[in-house]
Structure 1
């Protein structure tokens, strides 16, 4: 804002009217076809002097005032006839051009329409001649208008001539060709404008009007009666509005750059947040897979490792057995000699006993020996029979009767056991079949899951493997040989038809799509190779012509993968082959030649009907359409767990039945034990015992009859004991030798078997794996020692443990893969641009990690640094500059009010007192909060130590987003921005009436409320005079001769008190302003002393206003003449 030396000089405020009148003043106003000034030119001569425009109500005074404002203001800013109290839109530019002067009833009865003096095609001219005597310079402003239609806005152009013009001389004799008039004016050196903005800027430049508000104040002065609100008046008329829009745009521009930088930081952080789980889960999957593979290797090497250990232990034991065999053979020879010698010695003693009467004794001893053997056998058979009978539910064989009863019941028991065995065997066969089927299904599910985790489609694994072989053999990329099922899926809105669509399209979905480029290579490879499977491939034509599928057909319910180059071909195939009508009812189904029901019944050409319910329609594990297999993976995983559950259930059942069969087998063997006893005599050990007691008594009697016989008998007994002992040792030794020989033979065969096994499956040379197997074996042995006999048991124990670990690891691997792929898919869905060439598969884990590494090590630091730089060096600097600009404007306003007060101090408002304007900081909460927020954004933000600050960004963002306009609050924020960035709104203003001598305040007021009408008008004239002097650039001394001095006051002096009117006129006179006063006749006596010219307007018929020019002297003479 420029600073003026002073609003009024002492020269301006003198009452001396001598000398040249300063500034541009209106000398002449001409009207042609304006309102009711019709047909001929009407001229109002002011000659740069204060003038009075008067006449009766409705004569046309306000029409002349509106003509002047139309010359000086854009039509869209003018409220025509406002000073006369007209309603808004009662008059318009078109109403003046057409000459609307009354209303007539329309043909519709109750409505009326305006009556025009002129039709379209008639032109209107308003011309004003302004002269600056000090500069001896004349400027003519003119506006030329014409209506091209009955309503709307008239067409117009504006002109400025540096010299005097008139309508008759310069705006006549051109017919109706406005272009001709424009050319003539331009040829005469007149500036012609089609828009007011350029015209207004030009005449303001000529008149020395530097303020954009000056002409607005001029317009308000026309109808101003009093200052109702000082703050509003000062803001609007005495302080310029600043162009903050450009600065806000610059701030928004810098913030947009900052926002982009901030968004880049947030985007990078979000990408890192989403990629870290991909990295972690992919690493976990890798670790688990390595563990799973290692456990497989360990399990595969169990047999060779334990076989090697068994071989080593067996060879060591064989060597020990062979050494022991040598020692036993020597011992056998010694014992054989001892037994021979003792046999000979015993034979000699027995001969001596026979010769001494010991024959009967010998016979008794022989019988006792035989009976002892028989009694032992009987006891053994009795115990076995008795235990077996108890288990079988038979009697204990205490006598012949019990034995016979058992013999009679035995066939029934045998039959019952046989029947139970048959039933259990049947159950076992069924459970074994169930376990086999479940095991096979689990294996299939595991294979399929492993395949699905490495791709995104739902196709069977064997088919994917077949394509891989084909692509490997032809060198074609798999992505260039898609199956139809990978590119199709049922639309989400048609989910109810998914089962029927999957069943119908199953064969087509498994068809390989081969383009012309790949057709020769594919067909040759298929021909050369035994596929051991079935494959269907379709040759894709060059220019398919698909027809649109109806929504109610199967083809219409199928969506195609976006971006596939085979879209047209697929649309054609679907439209031709699968245009079956999807029918809700059987009546519909029977009506169409090709139809499909929601339950999967298919009707094709030729009357063929088909419904295949071998698989459930809702069995999603067999679905093949789509390019997202997450659901199928989840279902297969569930199916795998269900199959493994059935395996465990079947295994538990088999264990229970095998236990029952084992018990039955033992019972059947016990039947053999019972049946093997032919008669009760074989069990009657009690009778045998009694016979032995009798013989022993007899022997005792015989032995007591001879001492020699007793000695011989004792010697025989001792020798027999030694012989028995030696023979026992020899027999035991023979058995040991036999056992050793059998064991040596078995070990030898075992060693051969081990060597043969190791030849077929050799032990690994991986030292780490061998150490791991050793650890597993030691854990399984616990406190045992590994021998050649328990290797199989320990191996089984370790194998069971490894199998459990492998199954657990397999589940963890599957879950880790699913989790990794889910995180990959989430990232791809959110950031498709970064992952156009990446699949959500485990093979892509490295590429995802590369993106993460790039983000962490490069992108995020770079984005953060760019954000910090943009925040501290651009946006915050812009906010600081913006804040400084607004603060400078605040200081300018304070200074400007000070300048105005200096001039107001020279105007005596009341005797001994003057008016001062007082600015106060506004209490408006929004303005104060804005100032606080603006300072918060800029404080502590400049300097080399400034760090990245999310809080600072959020402060700036909250402020800038209000400048921009928040969603749904745009209008509210626009009003808020206009309010808080207009520094004029930072102040409220009041007036203080002070004693000139002491400066003491006499009265303080913020508006004119509570004052009399005259006091209100007086305050209005005082503040208005200060505002006009400020806005029109009236400065001290002769240096500022280029100024605008013309003011129109419409009826204001006619409505106030005579005293206040005189005060105002005196004040404007001292400011050397030219006044055009528009007032009714009744106030002329007050105004008359201050005017030099009078324009008298009359319109007796209402359709033709006339304007008469008189000097004040002529007016007085005529008035006096009429009065006399």
Structure 2
């Protein structure tokens, strides 16, 4: 219809309706902006730009995700390289061990062969010496025999020999007992018993040894072993607790809540399986916390809400998926979840008045909680407990009461208080959405546990030392009791006394026989010579045995080294010798010590390398775990993170796959994403932003053009007659902070191609600094609606000018400053120009367009002069006019109309008469004559 009637827009129909019941305009600025200026679909342009922007943001998200993955993989790659270098160094050290083993074995063979030559030479010399000694010994033994025979033939001599025989027997007995006595004294000194005892003390010592030996065995078996077992059990418990706390801290550092353990792992598995976020399927404990000012009640509230806090809230969106996963998998634990179907529709009409001491007044809820109403309903229904400060108040209440100490009175007379250690500590608290305090508390607990473990370990070492000392002392007592069962075993003093008596008898016999004395003198000389010779001979035999033993040792050492060389194979030792030239000067006797020193150094280096490898492997394992199980902030931002890394193994041994993935991200994915991003940015977004800006510029120009066209109509309309004036519309730039912000953002978003292309990252930087802020700000719908209506960029007013000289006479910004007639006259003028513009009329009125308006109220509300002004205005604008007015006002328009539609009421019916104005006048004159 708009095209058929030649209208500019449907605003023409709106103006038509306004003119039918024409009234004074209240807001000139609003009327011009709303009815006289075209509204352009800016929202459509924004949505088109937004769609393109969304595609680009997805590309940028991919870039950000890849960069984040690269940032997390970089330390993994660094650690992998360090571990590879460590493995290389370990291999070098292992090779060095082989070289050292080979070189020292070869060197030992060479030195052994050299010393074997010297041994054989010395053995030949000793054998010659022994032959000479044997001849001399034979001669002396023959002489000794002759002298002994001569002495034996004498009776006194025979008696002397008997005494000597007894003396020799007693000497042996004395020496044997004395050796035992010395050993006895050493043992007795160790356990602080009397040394060199007589028979009575010996028996007392033996009884003490028996008692102490048995007592120490009892102490070892019943006391020390039990203390050690208890201490080791305590040590194991502490280490187990430390391991659990460290795992809990590690998990909490990856998350924001206070819930850990298997139940939290099950939630993570559910989230990954159904593709939800932690905000969509939260633990109830993540949504509530005890207010800081109510910390005295934290223990009691945690006890009441503990099990409820561990439940999950599952919205309808994921309900079936969660059921399917939970039903189809072995969870290796327990999970409880609530189905969320919305809140009760009549909840607003329920009485939710809370008592002053209500538990619900002591908790607060997480902001922007999706399930707030539902959670409040459940807490009110199930946990509206009274928190009482005294047992008197507790006893008074019938049900649902709790004390600060955690005594709970539930429905049905049930009372409960749980003070088990495993539930009382703060480490078991689960309420709240911030776990910094819990992590700090757990870290402090771990430090204390580590200190306790050190103390227990010290205690274990002390018990082990006490046990060792007790065992050694018991062994001493056992030797004293078992080895020395009678006093005679150590009584060497009685033997010494007998020897002394026999020596005196021998002396007296020798003094009575001169012949025997002479023979004995000669025999003594021969014996001395024979003794000396015997010593020399024995020394030679010993030296020969030593040389033979040394020869055997050298041969075995050489053979062992040769066998080792055969097993090792050929090894290049040139580099080793050039680095250790001093080893060539080391003798065989010092070679083993030097080898042990070098091998010890190598083993020490190997141990340090392996310790470093173990430490770095642990760090790498943690990094891999965090990469595959990132914090919630990352999984919420990059939904496909887990699917990207799911195929990567968790074992440190396969870190090469992470390095390959890291290199692929650097070489392929990141350049590819950035290339597509820049290409799409330059080919689409920048053009779209430019087009978006041009849309507003065109709209602004359209408004200027429209105002100019309206003014071209208004300049030909006489606003006042004496003197003649005309009206002009003025559009002044509106001063507004929001508009200024939008225009600045839009202007900044238009790129300077030269500057943007002057750097590699120019497009991306321009996007992040200018385009992205614009799109982010436009997400605010109310702000967007305000700033994207260009008609609102201006304030509109009317100015009156003299026809003669075009000098400004007056400015009209609001109707309040005008009289009633002036308001009507200005209203007719503005409305007239507006309808002329919307109907597409020109000054000569020859355009093919709809030129019809109807006026109803004007002729009742205004005086005749203003009514005639309106009719004159319509003539100037070439408008077809339908005036609806009572018959007594027809005289105002009868000279300006060509046709009359006269309505007359007859009874309960209305009759319409259609006639030309001439016929109407004739009928009226006839009726007046009658």
TM-score category (smaller protein): 0.5 to 0.7
- Matching residue within 40, 58, 64 for 1:266: 64
**Does residue 1:239 correspond to 2:45, yes or no?**
no
* Mapped contact 1:1049–1:1077 kept (Cα < 8 A): yes
Query: What is the rounded CA distance, in whole Å, between the counterparts of 1:689 and 1:1097 in structure 2?
Result: 176
Correspondence for 2:900: 1094
How has the CA–CA distance of structure 1 residues 718 and 313 changed in structure 2, closer, same or farther, with 3 Å as cutoff? same
1:900 to 710, 715, 718: 710
Give me the whole-angstrom Cα distance separating, in 2, the residues matched to 1:813 and 1:201.
Answer: 78
Aligned to 1:158: none
Q: 1:1016 to 1:784 in 2, by over 3 A?
A: farther
**TM-score normalised by the chain length of structure 1:** 0.50
Map of 1:413 onto structure 2: 209
**Aligned with residue 403 of structure 1, among 199, 202, 205:** 199
User: 2:60, 2:677 within 8 Å by CA — same for their partners in 1?
Assistant: yes
Task: Report matched runs for 1:417-566 at 5 Å.
Answer: 417=213, 492=266, 558-560=327-329
Preserved CA contact (<8 Å) 2:45 2:692: yes
Match of 2:696 among 872, 886, 898: 886
8 A Cα contact 2:187 2:476, kept in partner: no
Distance 1:765 1:378, change over 3 A: same
User: 2:678 pairs with 863, 868, 876, which one?
Assistant: 868
1:1011 to 2:818 alignment? yes
Counterpart CA distance in 1 for 2:838 and 2:27 is: 19
Q: Which residue of 1 aligns with 2:914?
A: 1109
1:1074 aligns with 2:886: no
Q: Tell me, what secondary structure is at the counterpart of 2:810? A: strand
Separation in structure 2 between the aligned mates of residue 752 and residue 429 of structure 1, nearest angstrom: 48
Change in 2 beyond 3 A, CA 1:296/1:223: farther
CA distance in 1, matches of 2:107, 2:132: 38
Change (3 A) 1:323 1:817: farther
Distance 2:31 2:802 in 1: 24
1:1062–1:880 Cα change, 3 Å: same
Q: SS of the residue aligned with 1:948?
A: helix
Alignment of 1:368-379 (within 5 A): none
Give distance in 2, aligned partners of 1:245 and 1:392.
Answer: 103
Which shows bigger deviation, 866-875 or 667-676?
A: 667-676
* 1:1029 aligned partner: 836
Alignment partner of 2:799 out of 992, 1008, 1011:
992
| In structure 2, C-alpha distance between the alignment counterparts of 1:1087 and 1:652, rounded to whole Å | 125
Q: CA deviation at 1:1032?
A: 2.4
Distance of aligned partners of 1:869 and 1:829 in 2 relative to their CA distance in 1, 3 Å threshold = closer
Q: Is 1:1053 aligned with 2:852?
A: no
1:311/1:695 CA distance change after superposition, 3 Å: farther
Residue-by-residue CA offset, 1:1006-1046 (whole Å, 9 max, x unaligned): 121132221111111222222233222222458x5423322
Secondary structure of 1:989's counterpart equals strand
Q: Show structure 2 runs of 5+ residues with no match.
A: 231-262, 270-319, 332-454
Matched, 1:820 2:820: no
SS of equivalent to 2:488: coil
SS of 1:1003's equivalent in the other structure is strand
Task: Tell me how far 1:750 sits from its aligned partner.
Answer: 6.4
Is 1:927–2:739 an aligned residue pair? yes
2:20–2:856 CA contact under 8 A, matched in 1: yes
SS at structure 2 position matched to 1:1105: strand
Alignment of 1:211-230 (within 5 A): 211-230=9-28
In 2, the alpha carbon distance for the partners of 1:787 and 1:350 equals: 55
Instruction: Note the 1:8-23 alignment, pairs <5 A.
Output: none
Query: Is the counterpart of residue 945 in structure 1 residue 777 in structure 2?
Result: no
CA gap of 1:319–1:424, structure 2 versus 1, over 3 A, is: farther
Map Cα deviations across residues 228-279 of structure 1 (whole Å, 9 max, x no partner).
Answer: 2222222233323335455445433432442343233224324434544554
Query: Using a 3 Å threshold, how does the CA distance of structure 1 residues 1110 and 311 change in structure 2: closer, same or farther?
Result: same
**Rg (Cα) greater in structure:** 1
SS of the equivalent of 2:816 reads coil
The superposition leaves residues 567-595 of structure 1 with CA deviations (integer Å, 9 ceiling, x where unpaired) of xxxxxxxxxxxxxxxxxxxxxxxxxxxxx
| Larger deviation, residues 717-726 vs 253-262 | 717-726
Deviations 1:375-418 (A, max 9, x none): 777765553443344446654446xxx23541575377358647
* Maintained 8 Å contact 2:104/2:591: no
Find out whether 1:329 has 2:127 as its counterpart.
yes
835-844 or 324-333: bigger deviation: 835-844
2:677 counterpart of 1:859: no
C-alpha displacement of 1:988: 1.0
More deviation, 1007-1016/902-911:
902-911
| 8 Å CA contact 1:227, 1:233 repeated in 2 | yes
In 1, Cα distance between equivalents of 2:605 and 2:200: 55
* C-alpha contact (below 8 Å) 1:285/1:816 kept by paired residues: no
SS at match of 1:1066: helix
Using the alignment, how far apart are the partners of 2:831 and 2:875 within structure 1?
13
Query: For the residues of structure 2 that align with 1:379 and 1:203, how far apart are their CA atoms?
Result: 145
Against the structure 1 CA distance between its residues 742 and 271, is the aligned structure 2 distance closer, same or farther, given a 3 Å change threshold?
A: closer
Distance in 1 (CA, whole Å) between partners of 2:841 and 2:99 is 110
1:203 corresponds in structure 2 to 4
Supply the distance in 1 between the matched residues of 2:117 and 2:703 (Cα, whole angstroms).
119
1:763 counterpart (568, 572, 596): 568
Task: Note if contact 1:226-1:1017 (Cα within 8 Å) is conserved in structure 2.
Answer: yes
- 1:514-560 CA-to-partner distances (Å, cap 9, x unmatched) read xxxxxxxxxxxxxxxxxxxxxxxxxxxxxxxxxxxxx9xx9997424
Map of 2:49 onto structure 1: 251
Alpha carbons of 1:879 and 1:316: their partners in 2 closer, same or farther (altered >3 Å)? same
Q: Is the CA contact 1:288–1:812 (under 8 Å) kept in the aligned structure 2?
A: no
Distance 1:861 1:414, change over 3 A: same
**Post-superposition shift, 1:937?**
0.9
Change (3 A) 1:1063 1:297: same
Counterpart CA distance in 2 for 1:341 and 1:849 is 91
- Preserved contact between residue 1013 and residue 1056 of structure 1 (Cα < 8 Å): no
> Retained in 1: the 8 A contact 2:99–2:572?
no
What is the match of residue 383 of structure 1?
Answer: 182
**Distance in 1 of aligned mates of 2:268 and 2:715:** 86
- Within 5 Å, give how 1:131-142 maps onto structure 2: none
Counterpart of 2:871 in structure 1 is 1065
Aligned-residue Cα RMSD (Å) equals 6.2
Aligned to 1:177: none
Structure 1: segments with no counterpart, 5+ residues: 1-199, 435-488, 496-550, 563-644
Asked if the contact 1:353/1:713 (under 8 Å) is kept, the reply is yes
Please identify which structure carries the higher strand content: 1
In structure 2, how many angstroms separate the alpha carbons of the residues matched to 1:333 and 1:925? 127
Cα deviation for residue 1113 of structure 1 reads: 3.8
Write out aligned runs for 1:92-107 (5 A). Answer: none
Q: Secondary structure at the match of 1:678?
A: helix
Structure 1 321/223 Cα, relative in aligned 2: closer, same or farther at 3 Å? farther
Paired with 1:364 and 1:811, the residues of 2 have a C-alpha distance of: 82
Deviation per CA, 1:55-106, whole angstroms, max 9, x where unpaired? Answer: xxxxxxxxxxxxxxxxxxxxxxxxxxxxxxxxxxxxxxxxxxxxxxxxxxxx
Q: Does 1:957 align with 2:772?
A: yes
> Is the contact made by 1:289 and 1:813 (CA closer than 8 Å) also made in structure 2?
no
CA contact (8 A) 1:908 1:914 kept: yes
How far 1:914 moved relative to its partner? 2.9
Distance 2:139 2:529 in 1: 11
Do 2:163 and 2:502's aligned partners in 1 also have CA atoms closer than 8 Å? no
Q: Which structure's residues are more often helix, by fraction?
A: 2
How far did 1:843 drift? 7.5
